Amino acid sequence: MSSTGNGQLRVAVTGLGAVTPLGTDAASTWDACRSGRSGIATITLFDASPLPTRIAGEVKGFDAEAVVGKKEVRRTSRCSQLAIAAAREAVADSGLDIAPIADDVGVLVASGIGGLEILERGVIALHNGGPRRVSPFMCPSMIADMPAGLIAIDTGAKGVNYAVVSACASSAHAIGEAAEWVRRGEATAIIAGGTEAGITPIGIAGFDAMLALSRRNDEPARASRPFDKDRDGFVMGEGSGMLVLESWEHARARGARIYAELVGYGATADAFHITAPPHDGDGAKRSILRALRRAGRATGDVDYINAHGTSTPLNDSAETRAVKAALGEAAGTVPMSSTKSMHGHLLGAAGAVEAVITVLAIRDQFVPPTINLDEPDPECDLDYVPNRGRNARIDLALSTSFGFGGHNACLAIAGPDGG
């Protein structure tokens, strides 16, 4: 069947791309996740010595000139450069020929912040040298929708094109909304995902001022520790994750390899607080239930959850309560891991990178671990797959993402046989 019971089209995942602190492609990122290897280290992108937090998940070995050319490196933001690289990988992986169907291929790429280093550089130039020192490329380079625009220019995709901004839920929303375009038959395929490059002096200082970041500077690889009683904040990461979503019928007709099917999407609001989730995780719970309802699945069908799992005291306990409330008695039997323990929190790109990882977990029937989980917080009492991954049957997985402002998104992803 190429349509769901309500007449809407099925959505296939046919391509994956990733540039993360764990590797410069999807394969190396997944290999690091499988082995439980951390990508967190001392910051090298700038001198972080004056800051309370001096660690982050940087993308290492990324050659921006090879992606956009020497001339364009200073005219494009790092988040755009990372996005273009991940999108190229995803399109190549999918084998999709865009040119003949360009009008029906879209790009929905999210960023929570956009080109932060471009804005920071412009403010410094204005302060030190006056308005004549501000680059004419500052505004187009820094805005959050530019990665989507540049990917369209790079790939020739001429369909729907925009950015979704919902803080740390941004790219999960982008993927969910992209799936809706395909499901309605208004796009044949969409390059969907997110990108972020917020490891700058103002980016780290801003989250430091909120006391949101871990200050375990002497043990960077052990600093991101979701659900552990000794967690002291999240660790910022950077990178990009991309998926090619395609109508099932079109993918099958061209003989594409189908990794998985995006079967459900739930989006809700906490309507509670600008940064803190409600104690009971109600908004997160409702996003999970909405995704399952849209997928036509029961709570007992869930085999794995890629958790938002930020390593902050408030999020991890609230998310635990949300999963319990959503899944009921089944919650304790479902493996649930936070790969942020390895790659850090990629902010607006988190949901996309974690969706890529979730798809690969389904492909390999393997649950990646939550590393650095030595002694669980008493309020975090589910199966978080501590420190070592495991083989498991995964027919249906959820990937959860929550953002400042009370934004919640949940993606339900099934195996290519429909789970």
Rounded Cα distance between 216 and 333, Å, is 32
Same-domain pairing of 226 and 272: no
308 is catalytic: yes
Same-domain pairing of 246 and 313: no
User: What's the mean pLDDT when you consider all of the chain?
Assistant: 97
| Structure tokens, 236 | 């910022």
Q: What are the backbone dihedrals phi and psi of residue 291, each rounded to the nearest 5 degrees, phi first? A: -60, -45
Same-domain pairing of 212 and 100: yes
Same-domain pairing of 326 and 353: yes
Which residue, among 233, 207, 239, has the nearest Cα to 372 in the 3D structure? 233
Element (H, E) at 11: strand 11-19
* pLDDT tens-digit map of 154-175: 999 999 999 999 999 999 999 9
| Residue 30: CATH number of its domain | 3.40.47.10
219, 253, 287: which is the final residue of a domain? 253
Helix (H, G, I), strand (E, B) or coil at 175: helix
Rounded Cα distance between 122 and 75, Å, is 12
For residue 232, count other CB atoms closer than 10 A to its CB. 16
Same-domain pairing of 242 and 297: no
Same-domain pairing of 361 and 248: no
Residue 5 has pLDDT above 70, yes or no: no
- For 137, 185, 348, the CA distances from 77, given in Å and listed in that order, are 10, 33, 15
228, 253, 278: which is the final residue of a domain? 253
253, 277, 300: which is the final residue of a domain? 253
| Structure tokens, 239 | 């990178």
Same-domain pairing of 176 and 274: no
Same-domain pairing of 383 and 332: yes
Owning domain of residue 119: 11-253
Residues facing 370 on adjacent strands: 386
Same-domain pairing of 107 and 209: yes
Q: Among residues 308, 380, 407, 410, which one is catalytic?
A: 308
Confidence band for 418, pLDDT divided at 50, 70 and 90: low
Same-domain pairing of 221 and 325: no
CA 45 to chain centre: 21
Q: Is residue 419 part of a domain?
A: no
Residues facing 237 on adjacent strands: 57
Position 1 scores a pLDDT of 43
Rounded Cα distance between 28 and 48, Å, is 27
Q: Is residue 5 part of a domain?
A: no
Q: Among residues 33, 79, 168, 410, which one is catalytic?
A: 168
Which residue, among 296, 192, 185, has the nearest Cα to 241 in the 3D structure? 192
Q: Among residues 173, 250, 343, 345, which one is catalytic?
A: 345
* pLDDT tens-digit map of 93-141: 999 999 999 999 999 999 999 999 999 999 999 999 999 999 999 999 9
Same-domain pairing of 180 and 300: no
- DSSP codes of every residue in 225-249: -TTBTT---B-BB-EEEEEEEEEHH
What domain count does the chain have? 2
* pLDDT tens-digit map of 296-341: 999 999 999 999 999 999 999 999 999 999 999 999 999 999 999 9
Rounded Cα distance between 130 and 373, Å, is 50
Same-domain pairing of 51 and 191: yes
